[in-house]
Amino acid sequence: MSLLPSATLRRPRLRPRHLAVTSAAALVALLSLIPLGFIVFVAIDSGWDTASAMVFRPRVGELVVNTLALVAVTLPVAIGLSVGLAWLTERTNLPLRRTWSWLLVAPLAVPAFVQSYAWNTVAPGLYGLFGAALVSILAYFPFMYLPVAAQLRRLDPALEETAASLGKSPAAIFFSVVLPQLRLAISGGALLIGLHLLAEYGLYVLMRYDTFATAIVDQFQSVFNGPAANLLGGVLVLLCFALLGLESFVRGDARYARVGGGSARSTGRGHLGRWALSSQLALTAVVLLSVGVPLYTLTRWLVLGGTDIWKLDSIVPALGQTAFLALAGAGITIVAALPAAWLSVRAPSRLARLIESSHYYVGALPGVIVALALVTITVRVALPLYQTMATLLLAYLLMFLPRAMVGLRASIAQAPVELERAAQSLGKPPLVAVFQTTVRLAAPGAFAAAALVGLGIANELTGTLMLAPNGVRTLATRFWAYTAELDFSSAAPYALLMVLLSLPLVLLLRLEADRVVK
């Protein structure tokens, strides 16, 4: 008899009550498959002869070598730098540790193409692979520093104490005990940085370093919607999937979790001793190079430009259009991600996992691929939608859907499901019960996710350049137009506004990292 109520309660969880939510989530999942369908369509439509002629040529080989060299040079340095900085701020008696930890995530407030703009001004001779790798490391290392630092705070010291009692040296303990437990954080951060390396456009144009992203946009602008750009996009997607597979292999299936009685304890901090001064100098150098150089450059150009560069007739519309697109795109993306996020937490199933995966995979694709897909579809099938606000907002939805999913899932999981059931027992329809309980409780997390999406949209460049309707000029595109003309003074106000808009993103990321480990 005890099994009957359980079976009776579970059955509605999967069928009629969730039909509307599942249908909505499935519709968004189908939209998210557009870029993948585009790649398959291009390969079939071009035919083997055309595809092989365009893909198997020296230029593509050069781009592959350039892209792989950039990844091979940037990732190891970013890993070493991030792990070292995280160790200093989390496991040593470094003075002003909390201040340093905030300063080390500050580079996230500076868009990558603004970083390259700053370095192009300070060191115009810095270009090519070395320049591209240096600026990439300075722009993206916080993506790895954050998870590694959070993981170090979360580790229980029992394993390290046991290793020390067996006579292991501090270095041996780090490499044999601590480092394996950081594998997930390092692999996840490396994947995120690697995907940025494959997708970034503006940074590498200013660094005069050709990658697939720069070649695709250049090809698109010179030969509108030509097959060469589309097929280059297919090769770039294959590189993205290869990076995903490599990350999965390196991550492995090992798990490190504390099981047993008692509670986790904080780890003691090591004494820097004679290394204290050199550690402070190293941290100062990193902050100056990643934050000081952009701030100095912006200040310099703002001063040199004077009041003439503050062209309010251009700045105010760009700021207004950026704010509108960020707000509208964030709202649409959060609403689109809500059904799948709710299903994954409240009604997990194979279908829910499949839908969730469809939402996440598109985040691994560069924005240029999403834009190319929408350009091809609108030109060939729905021409009236080409270069419309609807198409641009759809591109933002696809590009930033994973950000929304991550924030919504965490927020919904913290809302007790018992409140939904209690509301239904009081006669509320299921959807009304969900909105009056779970959605309201998850609202703060949803607003945080919306802020992350909105600020990502505000700094988005490649997709906006390719899809923006005539007359639409965002801060990023106005900034890029001036830098393309080498008018760095006129570009400075737009760069400053983008940095100011990005500061809340940094604050949210840092606070979220603190909250997760508490």
Every domain of the chain with CATH number 1.10.3720.10 lies at 12-34+310-518, 57-253+276-295
Distance (Å) of CA 222 to CA 216, 227, 386: 10, 12, 18
Look up residue 320 and give its amino acid: G
Residues 6 or more apart whose CB falls under 8 angstroms from that of 96 comprise none
> Residue 152 to residues 180, 184, 258, 369, 436: CA-CA distances in angstroms?
12, 12, 14, 36, 38
Residue 101 has pLDDT above 70, yes or no: yes
Spatial CA neighbour of 388 closest among 325, 454, 332: 325
Average pLDDT, the chain: 81
12-34+310-518 CATH choice from 2.20.25.240, 3.40.50.410, 1.10.4190.10, 1.10.3720.10:
1.10.3720.10
What pLDDT is stored for residue 449 in this prediction? 80
Quick one: tokens of 263? 């509670």
In this prediction, residues 353-361 reach a mean pLDDT of 78
358 or 334, which is more confident? 334
Q: Which segment of 130-139, 217-226, 284-293, 487-496 scores lowest on mean pLDDT?
A: 217-226
Q: Is the pLDDT of residue 463 over 90?
A: no
Quick: pLDDT tens for 148-194. Answer: 888 887 776 777 767 777 777 777 777 777 778 788 788 878 888 88
Q: Let me know: does 54 contact 173? Beta carbons within 8 Å.
A: no
Two tokens at 333?
């993306």
Average pLDDT, integer, range 205-232:
78
Q: Is 485 helix (H, G, I), strand (E, B) or coil?
A: coil
> Would you give the DSSP letter of residue 265?
-
Cβ pair 296, 115 in contact under 8 A: no
Q: Say what the pLDDT of residue 403 is.
A: 79
Return the CATH number of 57-253+276-295, one of 3.30.530.20, 1.10.3720.10, 3.10.180.10, 3.40.50.720. Answer: 1.10.3720.10
pLDDT digits 0-9 by tens, 120-154: 888 888 889 999 999 999 999 998 898 888 888 77
Tokens of 459: 């700094």
Q: How many CA atoms lie within 13 A of 405 on its CB side?
A: 27
Given this model, what pLDDT does residue 514 score?
Answer: 62
Which pTM value belongs to this model?
Answer: 0.80
